[in-house]
Amino acid sequence: GNSEIDVVLQNSKLLVFVEAKLGSDISVRTTHDPSRNQIVRNIDCLLDHANEHTPLFLMLVRDAAEGRAYTQLISRYRYDPAALVGELPHHGTEIVKSIAERLAIVRWKDLLAPTIKKSVEDDEVTLAVKEELRTRVQSELE
């Protein structure tokens, strides 16, 4: 089945897939392949689309608590790239290892804190968007 990638960033050299979570955790099973978690499924899709681009995968999350499945899996794959290679045997070992070594968790508050501060140049729409972002991540920004 088709995967829905939350954010895709691409330039002439990079292809970045981002899985964004505000309050929820990742799915440890995907609908069309119950043996794979959401991170592996998204990385598989990333590799299918990377072509000549350098593939990167990031998690954009509210928190990086140790109890979160995404925190545990990202840590596992970063420190044991062979674990990710084992989950994606149909892709080249070296490219999967390179993704594993660059996996990252980015917290909403670290990304948005500088962005959502009010500015004298903000128009009404920009202020409304910033207020919505502030409301959604408030507990993490304080």
Q: Residue 32 above 70 pLDDT? A: no
Handedness of CA 4, 13, 109, 99 (dihedral sign): positive
Say which amino acid occupies 80: D
Q: Residue 47 above 60 pLDDT? A: yes
pLDDT digits (tens, 9 = 90+) for 2-18: 778 989 999 999 999 99
CA 45/CA 34 separation, integer angstroms: 16
CA 10/CA 114 separation, integer angstroms: 23
More confidently predicted of 57 and 117: 57
pLDDT digits (tens, 9 = 90+) for 55-90: 999 999 988 889 999 999 999 999 999 999 999 999
**Predicted local confidence at residue 116, as pLDDT:** 66
Mean of all residue pLDDT scores within the chain:
86
Confidence of residue 31 (pLDDT cuts 50, 70, 90): low
Q: Where are the alpha helices (DSSP H) in 31-80?
A: 38-50, 69-79
**Predicted local confidence at residue 141, as pLDDT:** 46
Q: Which helix (H) or strand (E) holds 58?
A: strand 54-61
Question: Measuring CA to CA, how many Å separate 90 from each of 73, 84, 95, 98?
Answer: 20, 11, 11, 15
More confidently predicted of 122 and 81: 81
**Predicted local confidence at residue 1, as pLDDT:** 55
Q: Residue 111 above 80 pLDDT? A: no
Average pLDDT over residues 12-36: 83
